[in-house]
Structure 1
Amino acid sequence: MSERIVVDPITRIEGHLRIEAQMDGDKIGAAYSSGTMVRGIENILKGRDPRDAWAFTQRICGVCTLVHGIASVRAVEDALNWEIPANAQLIRNLMIGAQYVHDHVMHFYHLHALDWVDVVSALSADPKATSELAQSLSSWPKSSPGYFADIQKRVKSFVESGQLGIFSNAYWGHPAYKLPAEANLMAVAHYLEALEWQRDVVKIHAILGGKNPHPNFLVGGAPVAISTEDTGNTALNMDGLMTIKGVIEKMQTFVDQVYVPDTLAVAGFYKDWFARGEGVGNFMVMGDFPAKGNNDVDSFLVPPGIIMNRDLSTIHDFDLNDSSQIREYVAHSWYDYSGGKNEGLHPYDGETNLNYSGPKPPYEHLDVEKSYSWLKSPRWKGNVMEVGPLARVLVMYAKGHEQTVELANYALKTLDAPLEAMFSTLGRTAARTLETKIFADNMMDWYGSLVANIKAGDLATHNQKLWDPADWPSEARGVGFTEAPRGALAHWIVIKDQKIDNYQAVVPSTWNAGPRDDKNQPGPYEAALEDRHTMHDPKQPLEILRTIHSFDPCIACAVHVTDPDGDELVQIQVTG
């Protein structure tokens, strides 16, 4: 029997993910993705006030912070046909945009860059040559030889102490690392700078939502009032607006002068990764950043659409309310449906049945012929779909969004790569960088519109019209969606007699990390790993980490409830 590699858990992600790769010589022949924590948040919500759902769903994850709150309030607003004021829409766009920029920068430097950057190699770098490299890439001021020499000393103290601290748990010296020592030192310096940078960017959530993580939300609008007077910390006033403007400018500067140049510089040494790791070739975008109503898709900055089989000439429409289009399957999940394991359910009719008595960890290998994950397998018309930054950039490119086309063409020209290179592990990573710049730039436009509304005397941030449940219909259902940093996210809600009767969240990492379905179709993680992956050393599976991290997994979003006793369920292990 050929060797099977087990990586459990995948580190530098949120939640617990197990990957098993069945080797075919030195290549991955088959891959299996398993979420190893049980899901149950939907059961917690039944019988509660729909207006409170956002506070529960936001606790699905501590990394995504606000996206589940956004999807939840939009679901209730959709069910009750509840419009929100223009200022509330702008405030939400600013909060979502801040989440994107913060999340993507943190992902690149602190979760994914170490798959490409050899920290220990930075010790042999020449600080003067590093300075010359950095200054050739951008005008970022922290680029002197003395600055990089100081960074090198800090890294050396980690290494000589025998405790790498934040740089532990990696395969330093692996032959798959290709960056020169100077590029590694520059990247490590920017890793440390990003840690400091992120402390300021969270201020937008604190000002507009009261706190970060898990800022406050409000069905029917935004949770912050607007004041034209100095009212301290109880409302959004001129001091708060000027702070927001300063944070946006700081975001834009770091993205333009550090994140974008670093991505292009690193990608230039790994062009072979433009030819592996795509997988299914189907992409779904639900859309986000409305200029008008939640459902006015024509006003979205990120338009909805589906791409099938890499064909950018045709963008397919879809309907999240259509039970024949969106279904979740559990054929290889540790769940049961009342209608059987091979049934597919639309989220309005979704079930979260935890009455499972199958194998539990620790186990040597997953029983991949049966059930092997706590994630479900969502499908569009039976098709496996990838969601996330690559999907968004491809749809925006295909629909002719001017800035997306300009940035994508510039990146591809710089790297001497064809458009097809985007369909890859590295393309996924590059797309995340490009959309970060797009959203950071648009944040200043939303800020300007908000200030203009205030100057014109429009201070409304909430619509009270349906706040009394007595005005609600006896039964209602709706779907709220957002484009979370990791991809398309939607919450479906069924309301009966003013209470939640059913609630289902289908999250990006469910779409991407889910197991095989009733047709044995692999999910996007699995298919991407099966796409031209040669392993240098099965006991140091750096290649697996590169592709899985390119999706920016958030398994805590896809599976929700930990062991009630707090017991350790798995340990990091790599076995052959």
Structure 2
Amino acid sequence: MSKKITIDPVTRIEGHLRIDVEVDNDRVTNAWSSAQMFRGIETILKGKRPEDAWSYAQRFCGVCTTVHAIASIRSVENALNVQVPLNGQYLRNLMIAMHSMQDHIVHFYHLSALDWVDITSCLKADPKKTSLLAESMSDFGGHGVDDFKNVQKKLKHFVDSGRLGIFASGYWGHQAMKLSPEENLLLFSHYLTALDYQKKAAQAVAVIGGKNPHIQNLVVGGVATAVNMDNMATLNVERLSLIRKKLGEVKKFIDKVYMNDLVLLADRYREWFDIGQSVGNYIAVPEYPLDIHSKEFLIQGGIFFNGEQNIHHKILDHSDDYLINNITESSEFAWYNNPAPLHPWEGSSDPRFTGYDHDSKYTWCKAPRFKEKAIETGPVAQILAGYHTGNEFIKREIDFYNSTLSIDNSKYNSTMGRLLARGYRAKFSAETAEYFLDKLIENIAAGDSDYANPTEIPSGEYKGVGFHEAPRGMLSHFIHIKNKKIENYQAVVPSTWNASPRDENGVMGPYENSLINTQLAETEKPLEILRTIHSYDPCIACAVHAVDPDGGDIVKVKVL
């Protein structure tokens, strides 16, 4: 007998997401992904000054803020063909890489790991055995017997208080949890440690960006971060040394803790390399420009169709016509007027809420398509693009971990594959941040002190697009400038691609598609659905954890 399960809201994400599934014999047979909040910033931007767009656009989200600022400023620079000095590129790249490090640490430990780690089991763990396990995996430190006893003490005090906050709705003791008490204690202790290390990465971003979240240092043509090694009021030797220190600490955590925990999880839950397969189409754009024209990039992009392991189309830069011209968005099942597929430059965000009806309209999320295909974006897309375009670091990491876990590249189209790919991306981001810090220092030492190319917005009419390979995937901001004002603005964000509803042809988006055939152990506690949805790191809009201070339900799971 079929059942209908509704999870509303899905927590431990950014934004408000509802998931509905139909289940027959405890197996998912149909699914609907519904973004439950209207964004509207594109409408707010109409009539504003193009040079100010980035400061508005990064308010799309309170977590992935840097990425929208970067994509927005690039859209204006693309429209006006503006060059960015090398120091400006290097400083932007440094912020991008450090933000990615912070974002991936937060996702794994604080948003996703609790789908796999049973916190209540930690109190049963033997601290001595946990210490031996930890020391067999890494020499990171903080893994003594007393360290784990202290974690248990903190946890017991927290549980005894009865004020569980965001942990109150966890599926603790679920039969799909497989880690031993000692493994649970180890990963939970790293959950706490990760809070400090993600903060270090955020602080490093703020040294350059002025604050975090919502950086303050971008201008059309570069950055407003003055560079002078001898001036106490600018980015100087002391500030760069602070960045290097924090960067090194976070890199060590990623290498010696995050990746080891990820491999442990992947090994214990090996069956999840065969669960959560998505549409099999991928897209990623080049990132980290190396020249003032943004024509050369540290890592290239690519498009994959129909589950092919060979790349369909290499994307070498952000001016690729094949990329730009084949993106459309459909509102057939979204709460907007103009349901027909439109290119973002012609797109609109005119809301028309008609109530939830999965046979008609059921989400605020549009349905982006590339050449009429649903497509997944994110770390899997980027690591596959890097692998097939010859990025040595990406290829080395994938080959090493494929060998360690006895998998091949086809296994990345899965729930566990997405988690693993995000770990590679965290390592790559750390290496990249150090690379651009060195490049910045070398360039300044060579006598180049330029960090911006001051640019006035000219009269006339211009269109541009700013691409950015953000932590969650390909981000694009499309801008239409007319008479020095914004005529139209559309952002197609990674979670728009992944959380996409059905399109005018009835084709599901990646979230929906990846839930089909998922087997549930307990229909009243659909943990398996959350594991797959969280593997995408959804960012529906700006949000934090939903907490009811009066102790009421924050998540409703209805089984009908």
Counterpart CA distance in 2 for 1:357 and 1:21 is 22
For residues 295-322 of structure 1, what are the alpha-carbon distances to aligned partners after superposition, in whole Å with 9 as ceiling and x for unaligned? 41xx322312101122122331464687
1:65–1:314: structure 2 CA closer, same or farther, 3 Å change rule?
A: closer
Q: Which amino acid aligns with 1:48?
A: K
Give the superposition deviation at 1:193. 0.7
The one of 492, 504, 529 equivalent to 2:515 is 529
Give the superposition deviation at 1:293. 4.0
The one of 512, 525, 538 equivalent to 2:523 is 538
Give the superposition deviation at 1:78. 0.4
The one of 402, 423, 428 equivalent to 1:433 is 423
Counterpart CA distance in 2 for 1:293 and 1:378 is 31
Give the superposition deviation at 1:452. 0.8
Counterpart CA distance in 2 for 1:571 and 1:185 is 26
2:207 maps to what in 1? Answer: 207
Q: Which amino acid aligns with 1:113?
A: A
Contact in 2 for aligned 1:320/1:326 (Cα 8 Å): no
1:320–1:124: structure 2 CA closer, same or farther, 3 Å change rule?
A: farther
Q: Is 374-383 or 302-311 further displaced after alignment?
A: 302-311
Q: Which amino acid aligns with 2:49?
A: D
- Tell me the SS of whatever aligns to 1:66: helix
Give the superposition deviation at 1:446. 0.6
Counterpart CA distance in 1 for 2:253 and 2:377 is 26
Contact in 2 for aligned 1:221/1:462 (Cα 8 Å): yes
5 Å matches for 1:448-467? 448-464=438-454, 466-467=455-456
1:16–1:448: structure 2 CA closer, same or farther, 3 Å change rule?
A: same
The one of 307, 310, 320 equivalent to 1:310 is 307
Give the superposition deviation at 1:223. 1.7
Contact in 1 for aligned 2:80/2:462 (Cα 8 Å): yes
Q: Is 300-309 or 410-419 further displaced after alignment?
A: 410-419
The one of 552, 555, 575 equivalent to 2:540 is 555
Equivalent residue pairs, number: 545
Contact in 1 for aligned 2:103/2:198 (Cα 8 Å): no
5 Å matches for 1:319-338? 319=320, 325-337=326-338
2:380 maps to what in 1? Answer: 390
Q: Which amino acid aligns with 1:115?
A: D
For residues 251-286 of structure 1, what are the alpha-carbon distances to aligned partners after superposition, in whole Å with 9 as ceiling and x for unaligned? 110001110000001111000000010210000002
2:475 is aligned with 1:489: yes
5 Å matches for 1:117-156? 117-156=117-156
For residues 470-505 of structure 1, what are the alpha-carbon distances to aligned partners after superposition, in whole Å with 9 as ceiling and x for unaligned? xx2501110001011111000000000111000000
Counterpart CA distance in 1 for 2:283 and 2:192 is 34
- Tell me the SS of whatever aligns to 2:512: helix
The one of 411, 435, 445 equivalent to 2:435 is 445
5 Å matches for 1:493-504? 493-504=479-490
1:4–1:320: structure 2 CA closer, same or farther, 3 Å change rule?
A: farther
Give the superposition deviation at 1:165. 3.8
The one of 348, 353, 357 equivalent to 2:350 is 353
2:85 is aligned with 1:90: no
For residues 370-428 of structure 1, what are the alpha-carbon distances to aligned partners after superposition, in whole Å with 9 as ceiling and x for unaligned? 01000000000000110001111111112222221211122122222233221110000
Counterpart CA distance in 1 for 2:530 and 2:58 is 27
For residues 19-52 of structure 1, what are the alpha-carbon distances to aligned partners after superposition, in whole Å with 9 as ceiling and x for unaligned? 0001122110011000011131111001111000
Give the superposition deviation at 1:2. 1.7
2:558 is aligned with 1:575: yes
1:370 maps to what in 2? Answer: 360
Contact in 1 for aligned 2:300/2:314 (Cα 8 Å): no
Counterpart CA distance in 2 for 1:193 and 1:116 is 18
Give the superposition deviation at 1:324. 5.1
Counterpart CA distance in 2 for 1:82 and 1:493 is 15
5 Å matches for 1:225-244? 225-231=226-232, 234-244=233-243
2:496 is aligned with 1:506: no
1:479–1:179: structure 2 CA closer, same or farther, 3 Å change rule?
A: same
Contact in 1 for aligned 2:282/2:305 (Cα 8 Å): yes
Unaligned runs of 5+ in 1: 360-365, 560-569
Contact in 1 for aligned 2:314/2:389 (Cα 8 Å): no
Q: Which amino acid aligns with 2:270?
A: K
5 Å matches for 1:206-285? 206-216=206-216, 217-231=218-232, 234-285=233-284
TM-score by length of 2: 0.95
2:183 is aligned with 1:183: yes
Give the superposition deviation at 1:336. 1.1
1:77 maps to what in 2? Answer: 77
TM-score by length of 1: 0.92
Counterpart CA distance in 2 for 1:350 and 1:547 is 30
Counterpart CA distance in 2 for 1:262 and 1:115 is 14
For residues 56-97 of structure 1, what are the alpha-carbon distances to aligned partners after superposition, in whole Å with 9 as ceiling and x for unaligned? 001110110210000000000000011010000000000000
1:237–1:295: structure 2 CA closer, same or farther, 3 Å change rule?
A: closer
Counterpart CA distance in 2 for 1:193 and 1:320 is 45
Q: Which amino acid aligns with 2:537?
A: D
Identity in percent? 44
Q: Which amino acid aligns with 2:326?
A: Q
1:167 maps to what in 2? Answer: 167
- Tell me the SS of whatever aligns to 1:556: coil
Counterpart CA distance in 2 for 1:481 and 1:404 is 21
Counterpart CA distance in 2 for 1:442 and 1:329 is 36
Q: Which amino acid aligns with 1:550?
A: S
Task: State the 4+ residue runs in structure 1 displaced beyond 6 angstroms.
Answer: none
Counterpart CA distance in 2 for 1:500 and 1:30 is 41
Contact in 2 for aligned 1:2/1:24 (Cα 8 Å): yes
When the two chains are superposed, the root-mean-square deviation of aligned CA atoms in Å is 1.6
Counterpart CA distance in 1 for 2:353 and 2:214 is 34
Q: Which amino acid aligns with 2:483?
A: D
1:166–1:35: structure 2 CA closer, same or farther, 3 Å change rule?
A: closer
Counterpart CA distance in 2 for 1:324 and 1:390 is 23
For residues 215-241 of structure 1, what are the alpha-carbon distances to aligned partners after superposition, in whole Å with 9 as ceiling and x for unaligned? 11211101200112132xx31011101
Counterpart CA distance in 1 for 2:554 and 2:142 is 39
Contact in 2 for aligned 1:171/1:542 (Cα 8 Å): yes
Contact in 1 for aligned 2:39/2:60 (Cα 8 Å): no
1:399 maps to what in 2? Answer: 389
2:185 is aligned with 1:195: no
Q: Which amino acid aligns with 1:456?
A: A
- Tell me the SS of whatever aligns to 2:240: helix
Give the superposition deviation at 1:150. 0.9
Unaligned runs of 5+ in 2: 544-552
